[in-house]
Amino acid sequence: SSATETRAFEAEVSQVLHLVTHSLYSHKEIFLRELISNASDACDKLRFAALSDASLTADDAELRIEISVDRDARTLTIRDNGIGMSRDEVVENIGTIARSGTRKFLESLSGDARRDTQLIGQFGVGFYSAFIVADNVTLTTRKAGAPAGESVRWESAGSGEYTLENVDAPQRGTTVTVHLKPDESEFLDAWKLRELIKRYSDHVAFPIRLPAQKDGGASDQSRTDEFETVNHAAALWTRPKSELKDEDYQAFYKSLSHDFNDALAWTHNRVEGSQNYSLLLYVPERPPFDAVFSGRDERKGLKLYIRRVFIMDASEQLLPSYLRFVRGVVDSDDLPLNVSREILQENRLVAQIRSACVKRVLDLLEKLAKDEPEKFQQFTTAFGNVLKEGIAEDGANRERIAKLLRFASTKSEDAQKSVSLDDYIGRMQADQEAIWYITADSHAAAKGSPQIEALRAKGTEVLLLSDRIDEWMIGYLGEYAGKKLRNAAKGDLDAADGGDAERRKQADEAAQPVLKKLAELLGPKVEQVRVSQRLTESPSCIVLGEYDMALHMQRLLREAGH
């Protein structure tokens, strides 16, 4: 083997390492889940690679994860016989944080420990979480298919640098050895490890093994090499629903999403018919960090399996963009194992699965709205604006999506978006034909709009829309349940809803001299000056023609440089 090479971590890695070890201490046992999840990913990757090159697993076909401790050396070892890494891959994967948005993430930290812990959790800490409990970590790895002599050993104390060394590893796969800090002896206890594996990693689809417990305390040294499987070792979604508890679903969600919080809701289905597949789809409690900064480009979170083999993250192929907050697994019995992204894009079976995913998520949200309004409110706060995109994106489901939207209105007590279009329609006045709304930059501005004074005075409810997407979304919605959506700042109010024609005529005549004077003063800046039925308190307001672009939209376009 060659001389040891010492390298410095990228500055960002050092920063993340420091943050992880200092702010996640109260969640320290997650390190085990993270290392097991990496081992499981490595087994998934090898199984996938072996589809096109069976020789990769020929000598050692049973993929597994083994965990052992050495009490004297104070080490905990997690070994997998998965895909392994080449020297370059180790440098790439373990020495850098190749995540877009890392810098933004670091900048967004506030110094407020509680909030930062949440953010770091949402960011996903992965391999570095080992340093919460370790003062030294070594990783020895040999890539599947590579000769023993190309193995590499990585070692670091987690403080700015690491060493790399070529070694001979007898088997393929990766071994991570965690040297525990003086206070972390609990992770040397086999019972403790067993409990943590059951709690966090029971759903891992590969066997996780610990040295077999010796019965009756007899110290039969000859048996110490024997391992026993401690997890369920079957893909969670293949197990019968009746056997699964909420905790099982939540633990699986957390390892799937790296979210520290529970999922808000989920739906688990086995579909059998012209094609067979399983779906397990989750709605998170809050947006993950990635979605905040990388937006629509880098969609992740829905994993495609084919007959239990992990194929790829196929969120973009299996979900429309407006449901990009959904996390989960699709496992198909019928797609070909050699499927590519291009094939997925135009495959008929995939199109069916995709519409089933949409249907199941909308079903789930409807059920949540009906049975658990508080949770649904949480959903609205977290993802209501993303869902609104569906009004434009998914014409076929427009009505169902519209039913799930919630708004603030002149009848709600605060800025909370809690009024559904059905609520609104249920409260409409006898002579009212349209659903009225107003858009503005903020809730306060919408609420204080002079354009809605007359409607308010009449007791007509007005939806107060203040999200950037609202104007655009309403443009696609147009109407709901046969009722037109009308902007209170546009056109002639009376033409739409009731009004006293005689009174109006008199007021018009009385005001003629003032109108003339104002029209002269304002000149070409306005199209028309007229008496308004809109106002009860304010002396004047700006009104748009029925087909003019809303003021709010005009402002947005100006900001965007149009």
124 binds, among ligand ADP, Mg ion, none (CB under 5 to 8 A by kind): ligand ADP
380 binds, among Mg ion, ligand ADP, none (CB under 5 to 8 A by kind): none
Q: Which is nearer to Mg ion, 38 or 397 (CB)?
A: 38
Q: CA 477 to CA 14: how far, in whole Å?
A: 49
Burial of 52 (0-12, 13-18, 19+ CB in 10 A): exposed
Q: CA 85 to CA 101: how far, in whole Å?
A: 25
- Phi, then psi, of 353 in degrees rounded to 5: -65, -40
Our finding on whether 39 is near ligand ADP (CB under 6 A) is yes
Contact yes or no for 75/117 (Cβ under 8 A): no
In the region spanning residues 387 to 446, those forming contacts with Mg ion, defined by CB under 5 A, are none
Q: Which is nearer to ligand ADP, 38 or 420 (CB)?
A: 38
Q: Provide the pairing of β-strand 65-70 with 208-211.
A: parallel
First and final C-alpha spacing in the chain: 63
How many CB atoms within 10 Å of residue 151?
A: 26
Our finding on whether 318 is near ligand ADP (CB under 6 A) is no
How many Å separate Cα 499 from the centre of its chain?
49
Place of tokens 């979604």: 237
- Secondary structure of 329-370 in the HEC alphabet? EEEECCCCCCCCHHHHHHCHHHHHHHHHHHHHHHHHHHHHHH
80 binds, among ligand ADP, Mg ion, none (CB under 5 to 8 A by kind): ligand ADP
Among 17, 82, 180, 391, binds ligand ADP (CB under 6 A): 82
Choices 30-38, 357-365, 438-446, 550-558; region in contact with Mg ion by CB under 5 A: 30-38
Least separation, in Å, of the C-beta of 258 and ligand ADP? Answer: 7
Our finding on whether 34 is near ligand ADP (CB under 6 A) is yes
Choices 123-131, 154-162, 391-399, 554-562; region in contact with ligand ADP by CB under 6 A: 123-131
In the region spanning residues 509 to 548, those forming contacts with Mg ion, defined by CB under 5 A, are none
Q: Which is nearer to ligand ADP, 37 or 432 (CB)?
A: 37
Residue 137's H or E segment, with its range, is: strand 134-142
Least separation, in Å, of the C-beta of 41 and Mg ion? Answer: 6
Q: Which residue is nearest to ligand ADP (CB)?
A: 126
Burial of 245 (0-12, 13-18, 19+ CB in 10 A): exposed
Our finding on whether 94 is near ligand ADP (CB under 6 A) is yes
Contact yes or no for 206/232 (Cβ under 8 A): no
In the region spanning residues 491 to 520, those forming contacts with ligand ADP, defined by CB under 6 A, are none
357 binds, among ligand ADP, Mg ion, none (CB under 5 to 8 A by kind): none
Among 38, 174, 317, 460, binds Mg ion (CB under 5 A): 38
Q: CA 119 to CA 299: how far, in whole Å?
A: 19
Contact yes or no for 333/308 (Cβ under 8 A): no
Task: Give 446's contacts (C-beta < 8 A, 6+ positions apart).
Answer: 408, 438, 439, 440, 464, 465, 466
In the region spanning residues 125 to 184, those forming contacts with ligand ADP, defined by CB under 6 A, are 126-127, 174
Read out DSSP for 49-92?
HHHH-GGGTTT-----EEEEEETTTTEEEEEE-S----HHHHHH
Our finding on whether 40 is near Mg ion (CB under 5 A) is no
Q: Which is nearer to ligand ADP, 65 or 326 (CB)?
A: 65
Among 126, 173, 207, 390, binds Mg ion (CB under 5 A): 126
Contact yes or no for 474/465 (Cβ under 8 A): yes
Q: Which is nearer to ligand ADP, 84 or 328 (CB)?
A: 84
Q: CA 512 to CA 98: how far, in whole Å?
A: 69
Place of tokens 């590969």: 206
Beta bridge partners of 267: 281
How many Å separate Cα 193 from the centre of its chain?
29
Contact yes or no for 236/254 (Cβ under 8 A): no
Least separation, in Å, of the C-beta of 176 and Mg ion? Answer: 11
Candidates 460, 463, 482; CA nearest to 473 is 463
Least separation, in Å, of the C-beta of 475 and ligand ADP? Answer: 39
Place of tokens 């040295």: 211
Choices 35-43, 60-68, 342-350, 413-421; region in contact with Mg ion by CB under 5 A: 35-43
Please work out the total of residues on this chain that contact ligand ADP, with binding judged by CB under 6 A: 16
Edge-to-edge strand ranges of the sheet holding 302-306: 263-271, 277-284, 327-332, 302-306, 309-313
85 binds, among ligand ADP, Mg ion, none (CB under 5 to 8 A by kind): ligand ADP
Our finding on whether 140 is near Mg ion (CB under 5 A) is no
Q: Which is nearer to Mg ion, 19 or 323 (CB)?
A: 19
Q: Which is nearer to Mg ion, 84 or 126 (CB)?
A: 126
In the region spanning residues 41 to 80, those forming contacts with ligand ADP, defined by CB under 6 A, are 41-42, 80
Our finding on whether 255 is near ligand ADP (CB under 6 A) is no
Least separation, in Å, of the C-beta of 45 and ligand ADP? Answer: 7
15 binds, among ligand ADP, Mg ion, none (CB under 5 to 8 A by kind): none
Least separation, in Å, of the C-beta of 20 and ligand ADP? Answer: 10
3-state secondary structure of 242: helix
Least separation, in Å, of the C-beta of 461 and Mg ion? Answer: 50
Burial of 80 (0-12, 13-18, 19+ CB in 10 A): buried
Q: Which is nearer to ligand ADP, 94 or 477 (CB)?
A: 94
450 binds, among Mg ion, ligand ADP, none (CB under 5 to 8 A by kind): none
Choices 61-69, 119-127, 237-245, 520-528; region in contact with Mg ion by CB under 5 A: 119-127
39 binds, among ligand ADP, Mg ion, none (CB under 5 to 8 A by kind): ligand ADP
Q: Which residues contact ligand ADP by CB under 6 A?
A: 34, 38-39, 41-42, 80, 82-85, 93-94, 124, 126-127, 174
The site for Mg ion (CB under 5 A) is made up of 38, 126
